[in-house]
Structure 1
Amino acid sequence: MLKNKNILITGIGKGIGKELFFECIKLEANVYAVCKNKKDLQEFKFNKKKIKIFFGDVTNNKFVSKIFDYFLKKKIKLDGLVNNAGQRQRLPFEKIDRERLDHIMNVNFFSIFFIIQKFIKTINKNKESSIVNIGSIVGNKGFEELSGYASSKSALEGLTKCLAVELTPKFKKLRINNVNPGFTRTSFYSKFKNEKKSLYNWTLKKIPIGRWGEAKEISKLIIFLLSNNSTYINGQSINIDGGWTAS
């Protein structure tokens, strides 16, 4: 599905990004990845021939510019972008000051906005290309103590829809979609399950399938949207949540 496609993925150190990273390698894509910390990759084992990893923070504009300067210098045309890097924030509304709100918006929204601006300069207008933004069901559902996080994901969903309308007519074969995972077993799962038992049990009752999702299940949807099997899907926000938002 992705053989020889040039795919850029942010946030590969943990969870969905990590799983997607390995799945894209298995599918013989040329993977360019962004990881914030080198220590997150210590346990990784992979063939480095078709892989390039950039270490840094997606909110650092100089760092992001260097990544895309690399593609332009090497004359690499990108086929896919997955904006997976993000951060959770659980705080009561009245405790979110300007600094905390700025931080969550910088990581989950502003960084993606400017990465996409740079990405569209690296694509081949004559080939299929795809942007997948990783949102959350929190962006379109109400949850306690997640107002800052939800705001960042709602903004991302709005951006996705606007860009599908604005950019696709210009680039013809470019698609932009949003994937909204529900509760997923990533790095915070064990701590959440053990320390917030009542809240964890509440989440299970809200999910018709009766369990949290797996990172591999989310990555399969992302791969589908990156592939040429989804060439008529554009401007969509797809929930993958075990039925949470339907209940």
Structure 2
Amino acid sequence: NTDLEPLGWFAEEDDAQHALAVFATRIDQYHQQRDFPALNGTSRLSPHLRFGTLSIRAAIALASETSGPGASAWLNELIWREFYQQLLWHFPHAAETSFRSAYRQLPFPNRQDWFDAWREGRTGYPLVDAAMRQLRQTGWMHNRLRMVTASFLVKDLLIDWRWGERHFARWLMDFDLAANNGGWQWAASTGCDAQPWFRIFNPVTQSKRFDPDGQFIRQFVPELAPCSNKDIHAPWLSHRLPGHYPPPLVDHARQREEALTLFQQRP
């Protein structure tokens, strides 16, 4: 309890029930707010599900008893969680290697210096860096940003998804092997029912769409606070890059082509 309280988490069953009740008051907006990290739009219940202070049955009961698109969207997320648990049970090899055999020998360059920059939140892409710093500072990361940072590691930095999976396993307070593995393999296009290998998130586009005013970025990358709402998503383009913030580690357009070439080398 002592270690969790400064992070805003309380590991008691009563706290879990209270958190569930609080989420019930805003579940109607879940489908509209869940992708925006600056908003309190997600359930924030994953640590309770991970530690067993909240049962999945209680979560599903709330989603099932509440009508509307918000509850339906949340129920779909809970179903994904169960899907990944069933997947790992029936295909345990996915815990160690790519679910799809065609992607097990991809020649990732795996640059250690790029990986270090990614995990420390200094890639030069503000939304990615804010998300990685959120993880280190709070033990949690917004779900949309888990997809963005995973896609960036694998398809911009060309680093094996398992490196990122292990990093998340170390830092996520809500770490769940099946969910973490399933999410990483989805983003890396190596898993069951994963996104197509040619689908690659543009980190600047994601930033403009899901943190349009830069509110989340300013919270975790304070050195970018002076930037305008327009410039904060790609500050290097304004030619007024703050002195303590790095330029982009890579060029997204160039790395996208490299990623497409890499994935085409599968058997």
* The structure with more strand, counted as a fraction of residues: 1
Same fold flag (TM > 0.5) = no
Smaller-chain TM-score range?
under 0.3
Relative to the length of structure 1, the TM-score reads 0.25
* The structure with more helix, counted as a fraction of residues: 2
